[in-house]
A and B are shown apart, each in its own frame.
Chain A
Amino acid sequence: MSRTDWEVVIGLEIHAQLNTASKIFSGASTAFGAEPNRQASAVDIALPGTLPVLNRGAVERAMRFGLAIGAHVAEKSVFARKNYFYPDLPKGYQISQMDLPVVQGGEITIRVGDAAGGENQAYDKSVRLTRAHLEEDAGKSLHEDFHGMTGIDLNRAGTPLLEIVSEPDMRSSAEAVAYARAVHALVRWIDICDGNMQEGSFRCDANVSVRKQGATALGTRREIKNLNSFRFLQQAIDYEVQWQIDTLEDGGRIEQATVLFDPDSGETRMMRSKEDAHDYRYFPDPDLLPLMISAAWKARVQAALPELPGAMKARFMDEYGLSAYDAITLTATKEVADYFQTVVSAAGAAQAKICANWVMGDLAARLNKAELEIAASPVSATQLAGLVARITDNTISNAIGKKVFEALWRGEGGADANAADAIIDAQGLRQVTDSGAIEALIDEVLAANPKSVEEFRSGKEKAFNALVGQVMKASKGKASPGQVNALLRKKLEA
């Protein structure tokens, strides 16, 4: 039997840290990187007699997510206690949601594979969500040696999380990664989470099982915990799938378990078996009354949502005449979309295609090479628009444009929107469109290249291109290529 006899089934649980200023149940700060326990209030460290009070900002972020994915935002949802003992959870329970989560259902469309086509032909797929619920994060245990003891930092305790649970709709690690990326892009797009995976603001757990092709019942799943990069998500699932298939084909059985991925070995290993599975004894938290969300509140949150990636993609195609590929690429993240929009609004909608080419071409390549995000681009959107404007009004050719772009990248021309103009003037790059000046250059080139002239006259069209090249070179690239072509031909054929 081979890999193709098996179907892979994956569901993801994503913990997105909500970017509120204060914690979900206390007024302590959520800022990252503070000294240990400086941001742990009496509520966060669970001093007796303290009571949680729900943060409106956390609720609104959950609502934004629910509305953005077409889910049901519950009129009434309930907080429950999830009971377990661990020193970084000082209450002895985590406040979460169980039976009545705030966001129910919804779906996200993902694009899997290479959008540019080719061997790995891209396809779209809709992934259903089960729910998304609000909960509090735990603190951190530091296992370095404190005289044989463990250090506890409760700054993170009480930080609001949105746990986003998908249906087991994904059938490959590529689909799982595409889904995780889509959720990551969306939570940043609607500004509810900073998406910083290094700081743990966005973490994935993957439920993985395999079954024979055509089987309807689900196989026994194992849950891979705490994957904090898309690469690890892919590697962990690929390893786990192969391990499960090998185990089954060798006649073994899969036991339900929780596993951890070790990035160094690239393997998953058992953390706890089903027998050790936690018995969380959920029950409604008597400290918190139900969360009620009115239709009016929902309408206000809906109205404040930005244009979503799907709608923006359709508009780029409709309004700017961009291809689906261009529109998808330019709406991949909010930052790219914002940058492109700024370029287009400065350069004019009629120049949208050339703007798109610059953003997806030279700019993307340069950013990639420098390992920079677009938000950190040394060339601002208005500067790029200024460059596009000089190309479209024929002040410079496209080839000179690339030179100007490099100069902009190096910070030449200053920080203003007209930096391209400053560079063009300072370096004398303005396109030469004066016929007399171009003719003078042509005469020089013709006199210096009698052999090419001879060849052209004997019917070799290639010689013409060589002469155009010489004239362009003589002009240091500044002559208008169209004019050089026309004038040269006129002279040779005279």
Chain B
Amino acid sequence: MSLSNEQVGHLARLARIALSDAEIDATRVKLDGIFALIEQMQAVDTTGVEPMSHAQELPTRLREDTVIETDQREAFQRIAPQTESGLYLVPKVIE
């Protein structure tokens, strides 16, 4: 499988990554290489093997339902570009 430049451009937009035309070309070549590797792996017969969702075959850890976090708003907001009335301010978004 190989990608078109349009597909790479679409993926870049979805990921909010700005790519120049030259970068799109370079990225496409790299992605094609990755797809080639995937194709190689997909050639392996995995009939009867249950797909894994994680490389480690372990169950997830669970925590008890208790509140352990304290309010650290001031510390967190010290590194935010802009805050007001306890809110983080971001460029206006209306969908």
Binding site for B on A (CB under 8 A): 20-22, 26-29, 35-42, 45, 47, 53-59, 78-79, 83, 85-87, 100, 141-143, 146-154, 271-272, 279, 281, 284, 286, 288-292
Say whether B77 faces chain A, with CB atoms less than 8 Å apart. yes
- Are A150 and B92 also in contact (CB < 8 A) when A37-B77, A290-B54 are? yes
Binding site for A on B (CB under 8 A): 14, 16, 53-54, 56, 58-69, 71-73, 76-77, 82, 84-95
The 16 listed contacts between A and B (C-beta, < 8 Å) are A20-B65, A21-B65, A21-B67, A38-B71, A41-B69, A53-B63, A55-B62, A79-B60, A87-B93, A141-B93, A150-B93, A279-B14, A286-B54, A289-B60, A290-B53, A290-B60
Q: Chain B's interface: helix, strand, loop or mixed, by majority?
A: loop
Closest chain B CB from A290 CB (angstroms): 6
Q: How far is the CA of A465 from the CA of B58 in the complex (A)?
A: 83
Chain B residues within an 8 Å CB radius of A53: 61-63
**Closest 7 A/B residue pairs (Cβ):** A57-B65, A151-B87, A27-B68, A292-B59, A36-B86, A289-B60, A56-B62
Chain B residues within an 8 Å CB radius of A57: 64-65
Closest chain A CB from B53 CB (angstroms): 4
Chain B residues within an 8 Å CB radius of A286: 54
A-B CB contacts (within 8 Å), total count: 124
- B58 close to A289 (CB less than 8 A): yes
- A151 close to B88 (CB less than 8 A): yes
Chain A residues within an 8 Å CB radius of B63: 27, 53-56
- A54 close to B62 (CB less than 8 A): yes
Chain A residues within an 8 Å CB radius of B72: 41-42
Chain A residues within an 8 Å CB radius of B59: 289-292
Closest chain A CB from B11 CB (angstroms): 9
- A289 close to B67 (CB less than 8 A): no
Chain A residues within an 8 Å CB radius of B71: 38-39
Q: How far is the CA of A284 from the CA of B56 in the complex (A)?
A: 13
| Chain B residue with the shortest CB-CB distance to A60 | B65
- B89 close to A150 (CB less than 8 A): yes
